[in-house]
Amino acid sequence: MLESLYIGMSGLTSYSKGLSNISNNVANLNTTGYKGSDLAFLDLFYQYQFAGSNQQGLPFSQGGGVRAGNSSTSFAQGDFRQTGNDLDAAVNGNGFFVVNKDGKTFYTRAGQFEFDSNGILTTRDDGARVYGIRNGALTEINISGKRSNPPKATTEIVFTDSLSNSSTTFDVNNIVVYDSLGKEHQLTLRLTNNSATVPGQWTFKLLEGTTELTAGEFRYDGSGLSNPAFNKHIFSYAPGEGASATQLTLDVSASNFFSSSASSLKVQSQNGYAAGFLSRTALDTDGNLVLTYSNGQTDKSDQLALAYFSDQNALQAQGGNRYSVFGQSERFLGTPGERALGKLQVSGIELSNVDLAQEFSELIIVQRGYQASSQVISAANEMIQQLGEIRGRR
């Protein structure tokens, strides 16, 4: 009967560990990117007595109790919650963010990031540096040299819509261009219909205020389309005031010449811009860090790295929503959406994958197991007491 006491004690010990596992899962119900774990229960050694063997010659076996085995992590996807933070992200599918803290590399599903005072992308909780990937190699993401965007001089103005052959003249006003210093200039394109002399010909002057910058002609064919030999005009634009001269192209290849009631020629695009300052940082679903500037320009030169492992059981939780690799597991590095890696859901986070209903069900089972084991110990104790009383009556 003494072995019954030890068997019952093994149940109490194992179920206590089971309760600890459940309590840890429940406590991390709201932990970003937390992955719940399951504790395995294993039977202990057996004693065999051949004296009690059955007709097949198999010995009588008696178990030695139970023990708590290893816990296994469930890497099932957690729910997504919108946060509105442009630098928050969740991996939708396989993959872990790669971070570095004190020279050690960790892997995490918690995508709450920010830039520190040095312009380096870090985790929001403890400042671990977040890795990007470039040319297949891990690299830090640093925007310290990207807080401003240099100006670009306009080199091309593209016009669209039509000119009417019923118009004798037509002006395209308020044409905005930028010089090499990023200063804005407003130009006027003054066109004159010369189709009576040369079919489809429009002569023009380009003015800045009252100053004529250049003059030339555009031509259209009989079907109203721009003539490739006369649909572009290139000249050197020298605005002065310290700005460098640039070659500026006027392009009407996207315009038409129609017998419409009124001309509607206008600027479709121009490729210059002023200097800009960083106004927004955000992540997109491909893991690109999108830098938006006040001049309307964007930069996508940095991209988050994701890691995936052939054997996720080699990952061991280290606290702080992070894992390290123990044992043998091949690591794959890539970008979101590449090969088997998932894409990102942005402006939000992945919640814990703990199923509270399941945990409460497991809690009842563990509680009943613990209660039953204690009853076994009580019953064995009473039987030993009764045996002692028999001896006492002698």
Alpha helices in the chain (DSSP H): 2-27, 356-393
Kindly state the tokens that stand for 55: 């007709």
- Residues whose CB falls within 8 Å of the CB of residue 191, separated by 6 or more in sequence, listed in order: 163, 169, 170, 171, 172, 202, 203, 204, 218, 265
pLDDT per residue of the chain (394 residues) written in tens, 0 to 9 = 677 888 888 889 998 999 999 999 999 999 999 999 999 888 876 665 655 555 555 665 677 788 888 888 999 999 999 999 999 999 999 999 999 999 999 999 999 999 999 999 999 999 999 999 998 899 999 999 999 999 999 999 999 999 998 899 999 999 999 999 999 999 999 999 999 999 999 999 999 999 999 999 999 998 889 999 999 999 999 998 899 999 999 999 999 988 667 999 999 999 999 999 999 999 999 999 999 999 999 999 999 999 999 999 899 999 999 999 987 889 999 999 998 899 999 999 999 999 999 999 999 999 999 999 899 889 988 888 888 787 655 5
Closest CA to 307 of 274, 342, 282: 342
In the prediction, which pLDDT does 88 show? 97
Rounded to the nearest 10 degrees, the angle between the axes of helix 2-27 and helix 356-393 is 160
- Phi-psi group of 22: left, alpha or beta (phi > 0 → left; psi -120 to 50 → alpha; rest → beta): alpha
Q: What type of residue is 387?
A: L
Q: What type of residue is 119?
A: G
In the prediction, which pLDDT does 48 show? 59
User: What is the C-alpha to C-alpha distance for residues 359 and 231, in angstroms, rounded to an integer?
Assistant: 73
In the prediction, which pLDDT does 41 show? 86
In the prediction, which pLDDT does 218 show? 97
User: What is the C-alpha to C-alpha distance for residues 29 and 23, in angstroms, rounded to an integer?
Assistant: 10
66: DSSP letter: E
Classify 156-270 by CATH class: mainly beta
CA angle 138, 142, 146 (to 5 degrees): 135
| Residue 133 · residue 335 · CB < 8 Å | yes
389: DSSP letter: H
Q: How far apart are the first and last CA of the chain?
A: 21
Closest CA to 65 of 38, 46, 40: 46
In the prediction, which pLDDT does 258 show? 82
Q: Hey, where are the domains in the chain? A: 2-75+356-393, 80-147+284-350, 156-270
In the prediction, which pLDDT does 393 show? 55
In the prediction, which pLDDT does 394 show? 52
| Residue 131 · residue 138 · CB < 8 Å | yes
Handedness of CA 109, 115, 120, 124 (dihedral sign): negative
Upper half-sphere CA count for residue 283 (Cβ side, 13 Å)? 31
